[in-house]
Amino acid sequence: MKTFIHITALGLAFLMVVLWRPALAAGPVSAQPGDDLVIVVNNDNPLDVLSHIDIEKIFLGKRSFWNGGKRIRTCDLIEPGRNDQKTARAMFSRRYLHKDHVTLKNYWIKMIFSGKGRPPASFRRARDVIEFVSNHPGGIGYVYKENVTDMVKTLAITGMRVMR
Amino acid sequence: MFESKLTFRGPGIFKDVVRLCVFTAIVMTPLIPKSAWAIDIGSVQVYGYIDLEYKQTTENKFNFTGPDDPNAKNGSFDQHHFNILMDITISPKLFVKTHVEFEHGINAGVGDASVVLEYGFGEYILSDWLKFRGGKMLTPWGIYNEIHDATPAFLSVFIPEALYRAEDRGGFSMMPKWNTGLAVLGEFSAGEKHSDFDYIVFVGNGESRSIVNENEHDDNRNKAVGGRFQITTHDNLIMAGISAFYGDKAISGAQLDERHFTWIATADVNWHNLNVHSEYGYSQLAQTKENAWYTQASWRFGRFTPYVRYQTTDPDVDIPSDNWTTYLGGLNVRITDALFFKIEWNENRRQRHNADILIDETQNYGEFRSAVAILF
């Protein structure tokens, strides 16, 4: 009986948190770190627009295939030598995945060791990201705007949220 | 008289011809040009970790199941884990995943040292919401069983033993750590801005006697079934889940089985740098019922994450005053993204009827634990 009461109390507390927590702010999006990063895909990808939520699912390994059935291949841009908070991956993670780099690292550690998935391929230079995406029909990555070439195409992103 | 040693074996000669053909095929096969079936090294991702622990108790501790740190008061270094994981891409939809553990500085089976295949399975992805697995898997039960040895994947030195090592706390194992069989799993969303759901259901050999390799043989009459269902809010603030397992456990070679049913409820809250998670588990093996629960809270300050945990096990609900409760406080330091240091104090309170306590043994004791883990 006591156990039942404990479980019920925990369950009610959980429900209260879910139902009463404030909604995320939906105000206008001001300039945020990572705004000069663009999402690039293979030129054969028919998409021109992708939602912010799809970006999040793709780069967290929760979506594995494009609508046409091609396997999604993700890659990260990491730049050695800078403060962790300012690498392209850190900015991308904060802007699009709503995780700081430590939380993201911990997320992928759990995914790897439970056999649920593998993180994106990592490259230290934008041109390597471009080459990977252009060589893989399902490829997707991100680079700075000034690094985009005609080997890939950029996607417009809809539904961006204000970062917490 | 001359007797010929040659005999005409008649139909037996056909067998010899077949054997000769098979032998020739085996010998000649390597000489036949063929397409490469070998896996491209770029398709294989290798991960792993290694750790070193140090543990020391305030009192020596024994238990009925065998020597368990009989001289724990001396303090011991323990090269606990050296684990290698491989994630092999066969095709865009077919994968092989393996995880091998070399435990406690493996030395030919001395003491607790062992080599264990933590998991080895093939996975076919039909879609994100429908995937198939077959092989040996870590039983999907709660937050920790699938990562129970992955030191870099959790804050503390050990996972919550109240639930995940109840057999070391005067009770019995709440669930089988592994299961060999088949599983169906996947994840889906209720909509673009709604919660994410993930599920797994499995069928397998379940549990067997300790002398039987349950990854090869099922020595009870029924197959075990189980599964886990989790929901995560879209902003990852809250995750809640429930897992269950049901199967028979053989207790003798005479097909005498005990029924084992267990379930666990999970809640995990992440708010900025604060994490609070809690689990409650119940397990019934034959007529014995046990339950356990814990709550852990942590807050990340840059590279430093202090954590506290309360955990308790009731090994047999029908026996009064047999609980084992631990109060734990520790600090996790992320020295680099691949190097972690953990240090904690465990204060154990064992009630007098706990089966782990020998006559005249101290009921309460403290334990210092620390670990260094390297991730690669």
Q: Which of A61, A17, A142 is nearest to B125 (CA)?
A: A61
Q: What is the pLDDT of residues B334-345, one digit of tens each?
A: 999 899 999 999
Tokens linked to B44: 């294989």
The answer to whether residues B297 and B307 touch, using CB atoms and an 8 Å cutoff, is: yes
Contact B153 A113 (CB under 8 A): yes
Residues of chain A with pLDDT under 50: 17-31, 163-164
The answer to whether residues B201 and B131 touch, using CB atoms and an 8 Å cutoff, is: no
Contact B150 A98 (CB under 8 A): no
Residues of B in contact with A51 (CB under 8 A): 192
pLDDT for B178 beyond 60: yes
Identify the weakest region by mean pLDDT among B110-114, B263-267, B299-303: B110-114
Share of chain A above pLDDT 70, in %: 72
Element (H, E) at A18: helix A2-20
B278 and chain A: CB distance < 8 Å anywhere?
A: yes
Shortest Cα distance from B147 to chain A (angstroms)? 6
Q: What pLDDT sits at residue A22?
A: 40
Contact A63 B267 (CB under 8 A): no
Q: Considering CB atoms only, which of A24, A118, A159 is closest to B45?
A: A118
pLDDT band at residue B37 under the 50/70/90 scheme: low
Q: What is the pLDDT of residues B45-56, one digit of tens each?
A: 999 999 999 999
Q: What pLDDT sits at residue B356?
A: 82
Q: What pLDDT sits at residue B257?
A: 79
Identify the weakest region by mean pLDDT among A155-159, B148-152, B225-229, B251-255: B251-255
Q: Which of B363, B358, B355, B324 is nearest to B163 (CA)?
A: B324
pLDDT for B264 beyond 90: yes
Residues of A in contact with B87 (CB under 8 A): 112, 115, 118
Contact B97 A62 (CB under 8 A): no
Contact A17 B240 (CB under 8 A): no
Mind spelling out the 3-state secondary structure of B145-186? HHHCCCHHHCCCCCCCHHHHCHHHCCCCCCCCCEEEEEEEEE
Q: What average pLDDT does range B89-106 have in this prediction? A: 92
Q: What pLDDT sits at residue B192?
A: 64
Identify the weakest region by mean pLDDT among A116-125, B24-33, B84-93, B184-193: B24-33
Q: Which of A133, A128, A127 is nearest to A147 (CA)?
A: A127
Angle at A124 (CA atoms; ends A122, A129), nearest 5 degrees: 65
pLDDT band at residue B363 under the 50/70/90 scheme: confident
pLDDT band at residue B40 under the 50/70/90 scheme: low
Q: Check residue A160 and report its DSSP letter.
A: P
Q: What average pLDDT does range B124-138 have in this prediction? A: 95
Listed by number, the residues of chain B in 26-55 with a beta carbon closer than 8 Å to a beta carbon of chain A are 45, 47
pLDDT band at residue B2 under the 50/70/90 scheme: very low
**Dihedral (Cα; B227, B115, A108, B274), 10-degree rounding:** 80
* pTM strictly above 0.80: yes
Q: What pLDDT sits at residue B267?
A: 97
Q: Check residue A161 and report its DSSP letter.
A: P
Listed by number, the residues of chain A in 50-79 with a beta carbon closer than 8 Å to a beta carbon of chain B are 51, 53, 57, 62-65, 70-71
Q: What is the pLDDT of residues B279-312, one digit of tens each?
A: 999 999 999 999 999 999 999 999 999 999 999 9
B240 and chain A: CB distance < 8 Å anywhere?
A: yes
Q: What average pLDDT does range B250-279 have in this prediction? A: 88
Residues of B in contact with A6 (CB under 8 A): 280, 293
Q: What pLDDT sits at residue B32?
A: 47
Q: What average pLDDT does range B314-329 have in this prediction? A: 96
Contact B128 A64 (CB under 8 A): yes
Shortest Cα distance from B45 to chain A (angstroms)? 8
Q: Could you tell me where the beta strands, DSSP code E, fall in B29-127? A: 44-57, 76-78, 81-91, 94-103, 114-127
Share of chain B above pLDDT 70, in %: 82
A106 and chain B: CB distance < 8 Å anywhere?
A: yes
Contact B128 A3 (CB under 8 A): no
3-state secondary structure of A136: coil
Tokens linked to B336: 């680099």
Q: What pLDDT sits at residue A2?
A: 55
Q: What average pLDDT does range B151-156 have in this prediction? A: 94
Contact B238 A14 (CB under 8 A): yes
Residues of B in contact with A62 (CB under 8 A): 128, 187, 196
Tokens linked to A130: 């471009």
